[in-house]
Structure 1
Amino acid sequence: MPGRGSKKIAQQPTLADFKVGVDNVIFSVDTAQNRLLVLLVMRQEEPFSGHWCLPGTLVRQGESLEDAAYRILAEKIRVKNLYLEQLYTFGGPGRDPRECDGSYGVRYLSVSYFALVRFEEAELIADGVSGIAWYPLEQVPQLAFDHNKILEYGHRRLRNKLEYSPVAFEVLPEVFTLSDLYQLYTTVLGDNFADYSNFRARLLKLGFLYDTKVKVSRGAGRPASLYRFDAEAFAPFKDKPLVFI
């Protein structure tokens, strides 16, 4: 029995033991069919064997998070131009069934990355996977782990990035028409995000599109001007919530 004046020593909480993974939300826009796409792969091992998921990997010893993100990109897709940034860290208890398996006894934390690639240039790599495919966003099935939640978060980030950054120009050709750009925005943001005439007038007023003075004919309409994105002219607008809406 403790004597008078003795103090009970508080038990120290058990610290979590983590494994760190990287999951990539890789988007592309099929402008020919007006579809926003996300890259999915099929898992070949438990847990969730045979289920679609986002391309991911556990971080290797001595490897940075960003290097792991680029590694999984390089293992699943060949592409020259891409945009990549860290998205969010998902680490809630129970997000991975292996946490409940006594043979593991660790928590699985996912640092997610958001990527945007040019659909026409992207070549999928099927080596070492039982399935890999571009899925239209509205047709994505129930994914392994909490990957539907990660995908939803990535989609919100993509929409926000289009509003205040030049990320759209990462997936357009070097020269493009205003109609091409408008189509990309409507594919990601929906048909009601802006009227084309207002969209066109606002873009030209902002002054970061360079008119190449070259025109292209498509169908029976009037020839359309080809533009190029001017990064230097865009610099004053960087990180300002201004853009096309």
Structure 2
Amino acid sequence: MENYKLASVKPSVAEFKVGVDNVIFSVDTQHNRLLILLVKRYKEPYANYFSLPGTLVRVGESLEAAADRTLSEKIEVENLYLEQLYTFGEPGRDPRDQKNNQDQRYLSVSYFALVRYEDTNLITTGNRKAVWHLLKETPQLAFDHNRILDYGYQRLRNKLEYSPIAFKVLPEAFTLNDLYQFYTTVLGEHFSDYSNFRARLLKLGFLTDTGLKVSRGAGRPATLYRFDEDAFALLKDKPLVFI
């Protein structure tokens, strides 16, 4: 009896196209609104859907450069800090996976940022105009961008617990109520009682009294504080600093 060996079939290796998608949050402190930057697509797939600002990475271009490039076409803001969020690459996340070639996949390397609403200008030229959209009223987005957005929002909430990210978007001098309103805008009105929030922050010792006060309507003038980065450095590795 002859022996036959079954030839092993090697699975084909997927070819990837890499894109970047940016989750850019802004807190409108004057109206206590949490906003997300979106663009409307003008071609397929998902024509006329909103999406996160994104682009495919060009030859010889770094991921960070691609993220900066697509944002520079949508928004003007000083000192924008982008932090890499996560890589999304499940098969079928992009309809072009199946349309072009089953061995070709589209990856999304997402980035995250929080900017001051008052310091940004949206660029109105071009086909893909950017808009600020209320986070709580986000529509169904293109691709898996709702999932990316949810992931980014969770990162924002987590960073508020242990990092000084809030002070990057608040004015240099602020009241404790300004800071509390910022937190309630992002985390919801029931995240903490104001009295407990105030007492905890003052006890931590990284807020400096400027000696100045501001009057806003009825009631006693409120003290203006500044963030002391050196004092905070002693606490930066401790979780749940603010909450």
**Equivalent residue letter for 2:212:** V
Residue 172 (structure 1) aligned with residue 170 (structure 2): yes
Task: Tell whether the 8 Å contact from 1:82 to 1:118 is kept in structure 2 after alignment.
Answer: no
Residue 57 (structure 1) aligned with residue 55 (structure 2): yes
Q: How does 1:203-214 map to 2 (within 5 A)?
A: 203-214=201-212
Task: Tell whether the 8 Å contact from 2:74 to 2:129 is kept in structure 1 after alignment.
Answer: no
236, 239, 243: which one aligns with 2:237 = 239
Corresponding position of 2:218 = 220
Q: Deviations over 1:44-86 (max 9, x none)?
A: 1111111110000111111111111111221111111433211
Residue 120 (structure 1) aligned with residue 118 (structure 2): yes
Task: Tell whether the 8 Å contact from 1:81 to 1:118 is kept in structure 2 after alignment.
Answer: no
TM-score (norm 2): 0.95
Task: Tell whether the 8 Å contact from 1:82 to 1:170 is kept in structure 2 after alignment.
Answer: no
- Percent identity over the alignment? 69
Q: How does 1:123-142 map to 2 (within 5 A)?
A: 123-142=121-140
Q: Report the CA distance between 1:103 and its aligned residue.
A: 6.6
Counterparts of 1:130 and 1:67 in 2: how far apart (Å)? 19
Residue 155 (structure 1) aligned with residue 153 (structure 2): yes
How many residues in Structure 1 have an aligned counterpart in Structure 2? 243
Counterparts of 1:92 and 1:62 in 2: how far apart (Å)? 25
Q: Report the CA distance between 1:138 and its aligned residue.
A: 1.2
185, 190, 193: which one aligns with 1:192 = 190
Q: Which runs of 5+ in 2 are unaligned?
A: none
Q: Report the CA distance between 1:237 and its aligned residue.
A: 1.4
Compared CA separation, residues 104 and 61, structure 1 to 2 (3 A): farther
Counterparts of 1:198 and 1:83 in 2: how far apart (Å)? 31
- The alignment's C-alpha RMSD in Å is 1.6
Q: Deviations over 1:131-185 (max 9, x none)?
A: 4211111111111000011001111110000001111111111111111110000
**Equivalent residue letter for 1:199:** F
Task: Tell whether the 8 Å contact from 2:75 to 2:130 is kept in structure 1 after alignment.
Answer: no
Corresponding position of 2:91 = 93
Q: Deviations over 1:103-142 (max 9, x none)?
A: 7862100000111100001100122134421111111111
Counterparts of 2:20 and 2:151 in 1: how far apart (Å)? 15
Task: Tell whether the 8 Å contact from 1:165 to 1:239 is kept in structure 2 after alignment.
Answer: no
Instruction: Give the secondary structure class of the aligned counterpart of 1:176.
Output: coil
Q: Report the CA distance between 1:9 and its aligned residue.
A: 3.9
Counterparts of 1:105 and 1:14 in 2: how far apart (Å)? 7
Q: Which runs of 5+ in 1 are unaligned?
A: none
Counterparts of 2:232 and 2:137 in 1: how far apart (Å)? 35
Following TM superposition, the consecutive aligned residue runs of length 4 or more in structure 1 with deviations greater than 6 angstroms are: none
Residue 202 (structure 1) aligned with residue 203 (structure 2): no
